[in-house]
Amino acid sequence: MIERCRNAGLLEPEFYLTDGFVTIIHRRPEQALKAVTPQVTPQVGTKLALSKHQVAILEKCVADATLLELMAISGRSDRTKFRQQVINPLLADYLIEMTIPDKPRSSLQKYRLTEKGHIRLAEGRS
C-alpha cells in the first residue's frame, strides 16, 4: 500500500493500532485538496447589494404594506416561497418589520420600513 501511494505521488498512509483495531489514514495532496474543496462564503440575508425587487419592496414599505401588495411588486404568487425567499431575509437583516410581530400570519399583518431600512434605501438610491 505504501509503495502504491509513492508510485502514484500520494502521501504515505498513516497506521494506528488502538484497542486491537487498525486505523489507516490516507491524506490527499495539497493540490487535490484545493481542487476538491470549494471556497465557502456564507450568504445571509440580503447579500451585499439589494435586488431591484428588494429595493421596490423597501420603497413600498415606507408606508405600511400588506403581503399581497409586496407580492404584486415582484410578480410572485406563492406566499410561502415569497416569505422564505424575500420577506424573511429583509426581516432578518432588520430592513423591514412587522406591524403585528406577535401574530406573523395575521390577516391584518403589514410590513414597514425600519430606520436601518431607510438608511439602506437612501444608499441604494444614490
Q: What is the pLDDT of residue 63?
A: 94
Answering whether pTM is above 0.85, one says no
The rounded mean pLDDT for the chain is 81
DSSP state string for the chain: -HHHHHHTTPPPPEEEEETTEEEEE----HHHHHHHSPPP----TT-SS--HHHHHHHHHTTS-B-HHHHHHHHT---HHHHIIIIIHHHHHTTSEEESSTT-TT-TT--EEE-HHHHHHHHHHH-
- CATH architecture, domain 52-125: Orthogonal Bundle (1.10)
Q: What is the pLDDT of residue 67?
A: 93
Which ranges in the chain are annotated with CATH 1.10.10.10?
Answer: 52-125
- Does the pLDDT at position 98 exceed 50? yes
